[in-house]
């Protein structure tokens, strides 16, 4: 199980560094010296940098190196199937108790079950696993960009708009938010990375891009630690456990079994299972805040599922890894 140590050590170390940084910056004496809430400003700046620059450049680099053969274009189909299954299961889970759930909570529950963190967590997990690495990054990237990302901006936005309301009772226009999809740097980087695949980069540029991309992988984990340290609401453990169970146990298990029955095996199957079992995405929290859903439930789902990942990863590696 040495590879688990190799995987967990960098992930946990980077997340711990982020959490400690956030905790340190939240101290009163730091606030008095800086005159700013650095524990809130730094994650916001870091997140914007990763969103606009770090992640797009990393995608171009890893996509340029990734092996896109072997049916990699099936990954988005698996992603959409996994999201559809999660959404269906969440509605079945809620149906017997609809009277006890406010509509905003129902929307958040379905979003938390449906949307996984296949980017900021899924990418590092796939890249750091010795069984996978950059050679199979294409599967993870196609799953995220053409699956999870599109699902969040299309199905997620529509779902959030249906279950949430703006102050005053007016529904937010989901069409306006949907337009942001076409300006998303990740989508643009994905297209650029595909276009540049036939181009041979100069050696110095190639080495520099690869070094920058790996540093962004670790930086995204540091950001994750900062955000997790700032989560304050853990009062919805029971309802959140249902969404987390669907997201991180039921869906990846069904995906893994279905792919096995269909004849898929090896690293590509493992990537699909891991991506299907990623923690609830921070997009759940963003959509809940934007559309006035149940933010407290969203926070709890994100926090619990991020911790549960450390327990479920060995299960999927043991069950679907080709040794």
One digit per residue, the tens of pLDDT, for the chain of length 323 reads 666 777 788 888 888 998 898 888 888 887 777 777 777 788 888 888 887 888 888 888 888 887 777 788 899 999 999 999 999 999 999 988 877 888 899 999 999 999 999 987 888 889 888 888 888 888 998 999 889 988 887 888 888 888 876 544 444 555 665 566 666 787 788 888 888 888 888 999 989 998 998 898 888 888 888 877 776 666 678 888 999 999 999 999 999 999 999 999 889 999 999 999 999 988 888 888 778 888 888 888 988 898 899 899 999 988 887 54
pLDDT of residue 169: 46
Identify the residue whose tokens are 């949907």: 178
Tokens 């199957």 sit on residue: 269
**pLDDT single digits (tens) 93-139:** 998 887 788 889 999 999 999 999 998 788 888 988 888 888 888 89
Report the C-alpha gap between 256 and 82 in whole angstroms. Answer: 10
d(CA 267, CA 35): 50
Phi and psi at 280, nearest 5°, equal: -55, 135
Cβ-contact 141, 194 below 8 angstroms? no
Structural domain boundaries, residue 85: 2-320
Greatest Cα pair distance, the chain, in angstroms, is 62
B/e letters for 112-129, b = 16+ CB within 10 Å, e = fewer, are bbbbbbbbbbbbbbbbbb
- At 253 the pLDDT is 96
Whether 109 and 297 have beta carbons less than 8 Å apart is answered as yes
Taking Cα atoms as reference points, which of 189, 206, 68 lies closest to residue 139? 68
In this prediction, residue 294 carries a pLDDT of 86
What is the pLDDT at residue 119? 83
Between CA 305 and CA 283 the distance in angstroms is 14
Looking at residue 27, which CATH number applies to its domain?
A: 1.20.1530.20
Q: What pLDDT score was predicted for residue 170?
A: 46
Domain count, the chain: 1
């Amino acid at each position: 199980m040495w590879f688990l140590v190799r995987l967990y050590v960098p992930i946990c170390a980077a997340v711990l560094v982020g959490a400690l940084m956030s905790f340190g910056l939240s101290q009163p004496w730091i606030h008095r010296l800086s005159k700013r809430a650095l524990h809130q400003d730094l994650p916001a700046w870091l997140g914007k940098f990763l969103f606009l620059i770090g992640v797009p450049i990393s995608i171009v680099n890893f996509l340029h190196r990734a092996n896109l053969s072997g049916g990699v274009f099936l990954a988005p189909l698996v992603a959409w199937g996994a999201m559809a299954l999660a959404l269906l299961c969440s509605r079945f889970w809620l149906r017997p108790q609809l009277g006890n759930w406010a509509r905003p909570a129902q929307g958040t529950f379905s979003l938390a079950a449906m949307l996984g963190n296949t980017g900021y967590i899924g990418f590092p997990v796939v890249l750091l696993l010795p069984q996978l690495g950059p050679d199979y990054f294409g599967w993870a990237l196609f799953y995220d960009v053409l699956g999870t990302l599109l699902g969040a901006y299309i199905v997620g936005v529509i779902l959030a708009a249906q279950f949430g309301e703006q102050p005053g009772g007016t529904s937010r226009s989901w069409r306006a938010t949907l337009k942001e999809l076409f300006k998303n740097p990740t989508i643009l980087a994905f297209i650029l990375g595909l276009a540049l695949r036939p181009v041979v980069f100069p050696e110095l540029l190639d080495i520099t891009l690869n070094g920058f991309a790996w540093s962004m992988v670790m930086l995204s984990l540091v950001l994750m630690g900062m955000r997790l340290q700032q989560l304050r609401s853990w009062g919805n453990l029971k309802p959140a456990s249902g969404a987390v169970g669907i997201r991180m146990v039921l869906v990846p298990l069904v995906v893994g079994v279905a792919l096995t029955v269909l004849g898929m095996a090896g690293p590509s199957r493992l990537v699909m299972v891991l991506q299907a079992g990623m923690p609830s995405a921070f997009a759940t929290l963003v959509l809940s805040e934007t559309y006035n859903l149940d933010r407290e439930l969203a926070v709890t789902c994100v926090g619990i599922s991020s911790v549960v990942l450390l327990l479920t990863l060995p299960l999927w590696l043991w069950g679907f890894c080709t040794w």
